[in-house]
Amino acid sequence: MSTTRRRRPALILLVIAAASGCLALAWWQWTRFESTSGDFQNLGYALQWPLFAGFCVYAYYKFVRYEDAPPVPHHQDTPTEIPAGLLPERPHVAPLEADVTLREYNAYLAELAKADSDVQRPTGTDT
């Protein structure tokens, strides 16, 4: 017997307690809505809490189903395939050598760097 099957009565009690708590909170919000100080926010909560209770029951149902028939495991050594056309195409970048403007700009920067290094050379020691 698996450990989850041995824990099933405790899980059932947990689901019953969680769903009962959610339904009790829904009833409380409904009575707050009907009171003189209630507003539509209380009505929204009164309608929301039963959904939470339903989710508790649904989550337990899915847990039991996965326990009885677990999903098929994926092999770790095989790569996952992405279907063709799912992702957008990557933009194509022109090679750097083909860009004339970039070559001219780099030559200009090289000239500036050479001129800057010629100007900043120390002529001697000035201490």
Q: Which two tokens stand for residue 118?
A: 């010629």
Percentage of the chain beyond pLDDT 70 is 87
- 29: CB partners within 8 A, 6+ apart: 42, 43, 45, 46, 49
Confidence (pTM): 0.53
Mean pLDDT of 77-82: 79
In the prediction, which pLDDT does 8 show? 86
In the prediction, which pLDDT does 108 show? 95
Q: Which two tokens stand for residue 70?
A: 């677990």
Locus of tokens 């070559």: 103
Nearest to 66, CA basis, from 17, 117, 2: 2
Helices (H) and strands (E) in the chain, counts: 4, 0
Mean pLDDT of 103-116: 91
Q: Is the pLDDT of residue 54 over 80?
A: yes
Q: Is the pLDDT of residue 113 over 90?
A: yes
Alpha-carbon dihedral sign for residues 31, 34, 38, 42: positive
Q: Is the pLDDT of residue 34 over 80?
A: yes
pLDDT band at 53 (very low <50, low <70, confident <90, very high): very high
The mean pLDDT value of the chain amounts to: 85
Q: Is the pLDDT of residue 82 over 90?
A: no
CA distances for 104 relative to 57, 101, 107, 108, 115, angstroms: 70, 5, 5, 6, 17
pLDDT band at 122 (very low <50, low <70, confident <90, very high): low
